[in-house]
Amino acid sequence: MARVILALVLREMSTTYGRSPGGYVWAILQPVGLILILAIGFSLLLRAPSLGTSFLLFYASALLPLRMFQDMSVNVGAAISFNRALMEHPRVTVMDAVLARALLVVLTQAVVSALIFTGIFLAEDIRETIDPAPIVTAFALAAFLGFGFGMFNCYAMMAFPVWKTLWTVLTRPLILISGVFFLYEDLPRGLQDMLWFNPLLHIAGIAREGVYAIYQPGYISIPLIAGMAMAPMVLGALLLFRFGRSLIYK
């Protein structure tokens, strides 16, 4: 199984990022460009971000885990349809394709995020004391949450092709409500009560707890994140077990 997954990861790398010389460069430039736009735009309106003095670091600390979730949910969701031809091989299973895509997303986003954080610290000579444990936890939870929704998307994207477009539309506003631009504590009480159920807002808080030593979020709920991930994961696995074969070979 490990050899099959490794072979699929190498195939995914060559097809996803290896078709053009700038494949992996583009994976870095996309989040960098968005972070720069946010930092420049808000620096013209505000004197300082809600934490620290670096707009780049403030937005990157929440945006990068969000991108981990988004990439995981989309790429895992398309794993079976992308590898449908390989499903005819008896050695390749649905879980092989799903785990290979998930592993590639984790490796890619981890490297991209590490490079971006390093670049921000070096470029702005930031002296913040970093705690790696909460940062790693935030990215791990973002990957787990994305994998859970990705498992459901595996079924939905095969059963209903329009779901891929619908999922893109539904998740696009997440950047506005997931703590990229604000801290949970800065919101009015009514908005806090509503947005508390967004697991990505909790993940953003965990990531910033690791980036900023003075930040101690009191609203974090790991069980909420785990529950939000497990529900679509279990539902997707059950649907794939029941209808997956008929969808793959239809």
For residue 215, the SS3 value is coil
* Long-range contacts (CB closer than 8 Å, 24 or more residues apart) made by 77-82: 77/149, 77/150, 77/152, 77/153, 77/154, 77/156, 77/157, 77/164, 77/167, 78/153, 78/157, 78/164, 79/150, 79/154, 80/154, 80/158, 80/240, 80/244, 80/248, 81/157, 81/158
Taking only the tens of pLDDT, the chain with its 250 residues reads: 677 778 778 777 777 665 555 666 777 778 888 888 888 887 777 778 889 888 999 999 999 999 999 999 999 998 887 777 666 676 777 888 889 899 999 999 999 999 999 999 988 888 778 899 999 999 999 999 999 999 999 999 988 889 989 999 999 999 999 999 999 999 999 999 999 999 999 999 999 999 998 999 999 999 999 999 999 999 999 998 888 777 776 6
CA distances from 15 to 21, 25, 82, 114 (A): 12, 15, 10, 23
Nearest residue to 156 (alpha-carbon basis) of 235, 87, 250, 63:
235
Structure tokens given for 108? 């890619």
Residues 108, 16: contact at Cβ < 8 Å? no
Which tens digits make up the pLDDT trace of 179-233?
999 999 999 999 999 999 999 999 999 999 999 989 999 999 999 999 999 999 9
CA dihedral 98, 171, 227, 31 (to 10 degrees): 70
Put simply, whether the predicted model's pTM sits higher than 0.85 gets the answer yes
Match 């490990």 to its residue by tokens.
2
